[in-house]
Amino acid sequence: MSQNGLFDLSGKTAAIIGGGSGIGEAVALGAAKQGAGVVVLDANEAAAQSVAARISGADAAALDVRDAAAVNAALETIARDRGRLDIVISTPGINVRKPLLQYTSEEFERVVAVNLKGCFNVLQTAGRLMTAQRGGSIVMFSSIRSQVVEPGQSVYAMTKAGILQLVRGAASELGPFGVRVNAVGPGVVETPLTGPIKTDSEWYAAYANKSALGRWARPDEMVGPTLFLASDAASFVTGTILFADGGWTAQDGRFTPPGM
């Protein structure tokens, strides 16, 4: 075992989907530091190339997770060119914050296509490749919204709960082949997805104060939980979600009773 111990990813090939920015970018850089051979995939090819340029030996390519054929081709190419596909981490997600009664069909379909269909496409192809090689780890990104919701988050929350159930089902089906499937459940993280909230100081502060730690997370704080699930440190962990939410889901309110 190397100096990195249980978390060592040396000799493993990791495809980081959504690796061009935010959490995906941080995870791609973190996986490389643990020794993984990294391939950065993102809908924004220039962003993927920019991140890959910072990682020795990394490759990059454009990928739209909504396109099942493209997902299949991309992951098959990685497995063929690198001899194996050990880790797939998928971070893409979009949100349209809007009351349920005001949602349009186009908005619903767009959120579902990226968050839920995209997750399904990745799980299906990664699962097929990994069962054939009899081993691998898949890490999807769910959210605290798989458990709790607020006004304007109904559709987003539905997709994040759906991702968790897909993860559980896939873990059950793929486990006999040595393939593990898990999810990370972030709270509020400083990423492009949550960027609009920063323009409203009251909204931003309310989210910070909801967590036990009293602040937002940085993208790099999602690296540890994600790579734990990807690594041999989690060799007996599958079908679960690891919440990295600063205690958001541990608390039932923002008010501290008198005398506490």
Confirm whether 42 is domain-assigned: yes
Residue 258 lies in a domain: no
Per DSSP, the three-state class of 90 is: strand
Q: Which domain holds residue 9?
A: 5-246
Confidence of residue 156 (pLDDT cuts 50, 70, 90): very high
The predicted pLDDT at position 256 comes to 63
In a domain, 252, yes or no: no
List, for residues 26-82, the tens digit of each pLDDT value: 999 999 999 999 999 999 999 999 999 999 999 999 999 999 999 999 999 999 999
User: How far apart, in whole angstroms, are the C-alpha atoms of residue 110 and residue 108?
Assistant: 5
Domain with residue 174: its CATH number is 3.40.50.720
Q: Give catalytic residue positions.
A: 156
Residue 259: the pLDDT is 63
**By C-alpha distance, which of 64, 54, 49, 34 is closest to 229?**
34
- pLDDT at res. 193: 73
At 257, the pLDDT band (50, 70, 90 cuts) reads low
The mean predicted confidence, pLDDT, of the chain is: 94
Mean pLDDT of the region 108-126? 98
Note whether residue 223 is domain-resident: yes
Q: What is the predicted pLDDT for the residue at 5? A: 83
Q: Report the number of distinct structural domains present in the chain.
A: 1
In a domain, 257, yes or no: no
190 assigned to some structural domain = yes
Is there a domain that residue 217 lies in? Answer: yes
